[in-house]
Structures are given as structure tokens and as C-alpha cells.
Structure 1
């Protein structure tokens, strides 16, 4: 993402001071540096209304965070535009013992250091003056950055905002940092406070952990060790220590899940499916003579995955995609062309290759050095089938519901759907039957049999 332009910086510097703050500063000094998509700025010495007037000369100003002294500024550069958060320094005053008992106020006359010391971690409490001055680092965040260390800014950090505990885990996993001893102890002490944080804020951090980390398992293990996991996802906590005897797995269910997540592509729905794919193995486990069975865990797992995701306020579309992947993750590759077409139909063309990636990761997660040659061959067969463009959905049929209603004098009712689904099954068996005449023949036969049964 582009930086704010020099002309805007100069206009602000004529009245006060402007600093780059937040993750962009941290990422600049990481080894290796990380490309930052978002840039945040802090302005000192300029009142809120005056700052709004200055910025409005160069772009669009949205006062969406007025109560917190934040301006969302969109600067246009020809056909392109970039949006930045520009804030005034803030301070928080405790009004009680709870983590929500704080009054937040902004004051343009506060020093930059006063704002930085109220942030979450020392590595995020640095600022770069845009007038060319030296890095401002009141809490020695640069030293912690070089030592690859996550350190809270104060012992009150997690009481002030318990979400910071999940953020600590997320940062540790993303950057492969260690959480400093006192900070880790504070997370363990205050882990139950995470229950007071909104589900949307928690899921946002979990998403970052999943898609920005090469190995999300590092973060989930930290969550389990600190007590966060049992509060956020008790269903996943229940998989810890559940052994899988029988020779197919080197790890218990939790560790298998961790290895599976790490082996998936950095795609949110695939990694969420990996997280939940064996979530009900503890309840499905049945000991047998040569090990254990987990029959039906994919079906119950899909239901539990949906319940967890609804609890964490995920979107309906994402819940659908993840539950389909969980529900179908036990598919077999040794099927006929008819079976292959049915799998594509039930999973969907938009998810079928994600399902294959999940299977490959599942095999890696078993820890037995298993091969996925069968999945690779299956993928080639799927691609070949898709290229032949057979019908996979009702919209692909040569007739539709209105055709049925007109031909057989039917009114709109569930019977129309029954017939279309029957026809869909017929053409999955034999794609060449997808013609108007043939489908009408099948429909006539279906209706005749239905009347006979009635």
C-alpha cells in the first residue's frame, strides 16, 4: 500500500507533527521486512476539526471514529486511491475494576510517547516521525523485535483489552517469536477474560493466525497451553490426548490436527476445515481389537464445525463451504466415473480442489509418510471430467421446472424439485441423456410410478 503523499505530510507539518505508527513500523524492521498493506498515522499538535479541514483539501474525510479522535482519510491519485487511519493521541482513564471500565479521550497536545505506552505490545509501540527525526521507542520495542520477543506494555494490558491475549498468540505464530515469560504468565492468569470479548473480534484474530502464519499450529498450541483454547474452542481442547491406535496415525487427534493445518495452503476455508475435520473423533472413538474406529466423525464433525463457526459469527457462505469440506473429507478416490461425477455434484466445482488439498494435508498430518499419488491421479480425472462439461447442477439440465409444469400440467410444488433431482441423478449416471426428449421421457416415467405408488 502507498504511503500518504508528501503534500499532505507537509500541510500537517506546517501546523503540528505527524508520525507513522502501528504494524507498518514493526514490519519495516522485521527480519526479513514484511510488506505492509495498511498504514496508520498519528498527528500531534493539531486539533481534530483543524486536521479535518487540512485533510479535506486533499481527499475525502470520513469522521467514523470521531469519539476516539480517528479520521479515515482517502487520498485520490488519478484513478487509484488509498485510505488511511489518521488519529490524534489518546489516553485512557480507569473508571472501575473491569476491562471495560475505561474512559478514552483524545488530546492533540499529548506527547507521542503518551499514546505509544497505551498500546498492546512493545513491538507495536514505536513511531517514525515524518519530519525525518529518529525512531521514537519509549518501551524498547526495537530490542524486543531484534530478540524476537512479544512483551506486553504493562501488567494491566490484558485486563484493559483481553483480546490482546489472542493477538499475542497470533503475532508469536506469524513471526515465530517467543512470548516473554511475564507476558505468558499474565495470559494464563487472565485467560478467562477472553469470554468477555465479542465473537467477531476473536474470529478476526483467529483468521489472521490461520492465513498469515506458515505454521498456525504454533499459535493453537500456545492457546492450549495458556487456557485460551478451552474458552474459545472447548471442542478442539477435547481432542488433546485422544490417541488413535491402529497404525494409521503417529499423533493424537489434537496433534494430528495441528500438523494437518500446517500442511494446507494459506486459504481460510481450507485451514478452517483442517481445524475442524476431526473435531468429533473423541466422541466417535470405539476401541476394537486392532486399534480404534471413528465411524461417522465426518458427519458429526460438520455439524459441530457449523455450531462453532456460528458462535464465532462467521458468514453463512463460509460456514457452508467449511462444513461441506469437513463432511466430505473421507471421500474415496477409487470410484467409477459415475461416482466421480456424484462427488463433484455434492461438493461443488468451486470446492472440489480445496477438498483434494485438505486430503493431501490430512495424509501429511498422519505423520506416517503416506503418499498422495491417488489424490493426484484423482485430480487429473476430475479436471478431465470438467473439461467434458457434463451436467453437475439443476441449471445444467436440458429442461427446467417451468418446462415440467407446462408439459405435465403441474402446479408449482415440491414435486417439481423431486423430479428435477431425479433427472439430475439420471444424467450423472449417463451425461448423454441430458436432452429434452430423454429427460421428458424420464419425467413421464417418474410421474407414472409416483401415481402408482400413491
Structure 2
């Protein structure tokens, strides 16, 4: 398949020296597959199989390079070394030979090994042929049953590589689909996250659902849910043409510690029940973080309200409630309003354009209010104690500022003075 070993596999590109590895030692898995395909990675994720003392080898490398060390599985003797720009997993060889180990893996394209000492590619299952054909082919049904997450992983890997799942393999996955319910929800969530991360994953997650792999996790998803999922990608593409900044925000993560993007939040909202309370339970069962759940719930709750916010006051409260979830909320609203295939002659994007423009303008006081006075300022100027009234006054001042009724601290205090008697009556 190739005349020389791909440059991405040569030890000079590793985060540690080849001399740290015993002989024999083998690189396996995705790094070998991607190296053969010529796929580059920003972050190295290396896997090695070592006939003996794998954990000791990993610990020695970690100590030499002052890298992190994690014992992943003491029984199977698997350890990880964490470098600034890479991780390297070291696993004890399963079985009496490397070939036995490779025959226990999921798909042929992941059962290719590379011996860095001899620069030899070991491919007993003809994975290189399947790489050339663009096929994801199982090694055996029993291997998939050993870890049913491998059933879902097929769709993720096919999406990432642009491959097709081989017919017999797909039929086997369909037959074994019910076994996916045995897998821990957090492991399933990770695979779903990969499929939601970009438009290439949408056909994959849709096919996975059709093949029965998602029923146990998204109980309320329907064919319409997956039509909307595809529409999210189309809406995002349209928005990118008109609002580059909004597109960049949609690609950002919900939080630094959470890899889910705002666009993924809009997609998740398509897959769960439209009732926020029911959706919250679904997402909790899938072990999503509080930030992710809150974002989906906010998008579900507010997306129908966007086009109803006509006055500046209504828009102010909408922006306050949506906060950083607004980009995902807009995408979901546009999907629900059929931006891709408008039913009426009105382009839904025009309806939301004013809100988008306000959100993208950092100086817009409706979307991004600035505080003219503090609560302490009000308490001193109006001689009032700390109470809910102070918070209400600050809100009314912000609304008045957005409406152009006040613009200075003095005007803000005078405005508060005029309405304080009404608020005291209310509270």
C-alpha cells in the first residue's frame, strides 16, 4: 500500500525516545491507521502493545520525562503517560502473540500494528486493504459483543474517516443493537459527542438510530428529530455566510472543561423531548454536565419566544435569560421555523436578524447592558435598606437605559426615585 513507513509513525515524532521501548514493542490502533491514511493530528494519541512489563515501561517513561502517569487497568495491565501535547497508552499484550492480540480487536483497520524497531507493518487481518477500500469491517461478531460500545463506535469512526460500514458488519450491528444498553451511559455519551461535533457525524448518528443503537438513550427521538438534526447543520452553514462571528461562537465549547460546542447543544435539543422537564431527566441519565443540561433546557424553553420579543423591554429580558446560550437558541428557533425550507414566503432569518445584530454588537444596551449605578449607590441616594426592591430598581434602570430614557447615573437615580413608591407597594 505504501513504499515507506509514513512519517507520522516514525519515532522522531513521538514525545519520547524509541530507546525507552523494549524489543519487541508495537504501536497499534488509531495512530497507525491515521498514519497510513496520512491524517495529521494536533494532539497525539498513541497506543502501544508490549509483551511484558507494560506498566513498568510506562512508569519509567513518565519518570524520565516528568510526565503524568495513570494506571488505567491494573488487571489488564494498562497505563497511560500524559505529555503536554500527547498521551501514550501502554498495554500488556493479550494472548501468546501479537497476532492473537490483534485478532481480539474491533475492526480490521484498527488491527494493524507497527514495529518501530524494525519499521515493519504487521497486518494479519488485511486492514490496509480495507483502508484502501474505505471500508469498516468487523473482525468477528464475538469481538463486538465483548464490548457493545464497539457497535456505536463503528458509526463514529466511519463518520470521522468518511468510510462505509461493510454490509455484513452493519447487519451484525443491527442484530446486536439491543446489547448497547449494557454500556455505561457516560461511555455512550462520549461517542454521541463525537457524532454531534460536526456535520460529517449527522448521517452517522442518524444511521445509528435507524439501526436501533440510540433507542435506549433518546427514548423520545423520532424521524423528525433527525430531520431537524440535519437542518441544524444547514442552518449553521447559512448563518456562517451572514454572521462570521456567530459561526465562531457556535464552534466554541460550552465550558473549558466541557468539549460540547454550542452547535452540539442545538443538536442535542433536537434529540430530547421538547418538554424541558422531561429533557432534563434524559440528559441527566446520559450523565451530561450541569452546564450542558442547563444550556439545552434554556434553548428549548426560549427558542419559541425569540420571535415574540418585539419591544425593547421584552428583548432585554430575553437576552438576560438566554445569556451565552443565545447562539444555540437562535439555531434551534430557525430550525423549528424551517429556515432551510420556508413554508411561507417569509424568510425566518429576517425575523431573527435584529436580535442577532443586537447580540453581536457589544455596545448594544439591550443585549449587553452596562450598569449606571450600583445597589449601594441607590441605597445611599434613596435612603433605603437592602431588600428585593433594590434589585428590582436596578433592573428597571437597565430597561430604561435600553429604551433610551436614562443615560447617566444622575438620571438613573432620579428614575428610581420616581418608581420606588410603586415597587414598595408591590413588595
- Normalised by the length of structure 2, the TM-score is 0.77
Which portions of structure 1, spanning 4 or more consecutive aligned residues, are displaced by more than 6 angstroms?
367-370
Aligned counterpart, 2:416:
443
Q: Does 1:89 align with 2:92?
A: yes
**Cα distance between partner residues in 2 of 1:53 and 1:275:** 43
Q: SS where residue 121 of structure 2 aligns?
A: coil
Distance 1:307 1:445, change over 3 A: farther
Q: SS where residue 303 of structure 2 aligns?
A: coil
Q: SS where residue 231 of structure 1 aligns?
A: coil
Distance 1:390 1:334, change over 3 A: closer
Q: Does 1:390 align with 2:365?
A: yes
Deviations along 1:2-52, one digit per CA (max 9) or x if unpaired, are 986579443235x3233222212222233x735363321314245233553
State the 1:339 CA deviation.
5.3
Distance 1:399 1:145, change over 3 A: same
Aligned counterpart, 1:150:
136
**Cα distance between partner residues in 1 of 2:271 and 2:174:** 27
Within 5 A, what are the aligned runs for 1:27-426?
27-30=34-37, 33-35=39-41, 37-47=43-53, 48-49=55-56, 52-53=59-60, 55-65=62-72, 67=74, 68-74=76-82, 81-91=84-94, 110-211=96-197, 213-236=198-221, 239-240=222-223, 253-263=224-234, 264=236, 267=251, 268-277=261-270, 280=273, 300-330=274-304, 331-332=306-307, 335=310, 340-348=315-323, 350-358=324-332, 363-366=338-341, 371=347, 374=350, 377-378=353-354, 381-382=357-358, 386-390=361-365, 392=367, 396-408=370-382, 410-426=384-400
Aligned counterpart, 2:5:
none
Aligned counterpart, 1:21:
28
**Cα distance between partner residues in 2 of 1:197 and 1:319:** 21
State the 1:373 CA deviation.
5.7
Distance 1:347 1:434, change over 3 A: farther
**Cα distance between partner residues in 2 of 1:370 and 1:36:** 43
The gaps in structure 2 that reach 5 residues or longer are 1-7, 238-249, 252-260
State the 1:233 CA deviation.
0.4
**Cα distance between partner residues in 1 of 2:121 and 2:105:** 16
Aligned counterpart, 1:78:
none
Q: Kindly indicate whether the alpha-carbon contact (under 8 Å) linking 1:3 and 1:39 is maintained by their aligned counterparts in 2.
A: no
Q: Kindly indicate whether the alpha-carbon contact (under 8 Å) linking 2:73 and 2:79 is maintained by their aligned counterparts in 1.
A: yes
Q: Kindly indicate whether the alpha-carbon contact (under 8 Å) linking 1:12 and 1:51 is maintained by their aligned counterparts in 2.
A: no
Q: Kindly indicate whether the alpha-carbon contact (under 8 Å) linking 2:46 and 2:89 is maintained by their aligned counterparts in 1.
A: yes
**Cα distance between partner residues in 2 of 1:380 and 1:49:** 56
Q: Kindly indicate whether the alpha-carbon contact (under 8 Å) linking 2:24 and 2:50 is maintained by their aligned counterparts in 1.
A: yes
State the 1:311 CA deviation.
2.0
State the 1:372 CA deviation.
6.0
Q: Kindly indicate whether the alpha-carbon contact (under 8 Å) linking 2:397 and 2:406 is maintained by their aligned counterparts in 1.
A: no
Q: SS where residue 80 of structure 2 aligns?
A: strand
Distance 1:334 1:326, change over 3 A: closer
Q: Kindly indicate whether the alpha-carbon contact (under 8 Å) linking 2:28 and 2:112 is maintained by their aligned counterparts in 1.
A: yes
**Cα distance between partner residues in 1 of 2:122 and 2:225:** 43
Deviations along 1:225-253, one digit per CA (max 9) or x if unpaired, are 221121110111xx23xxxxxxxxxxxx2
Distance 1:126 1:36, change over 3 A: farther
Count of residue correspondences: 392
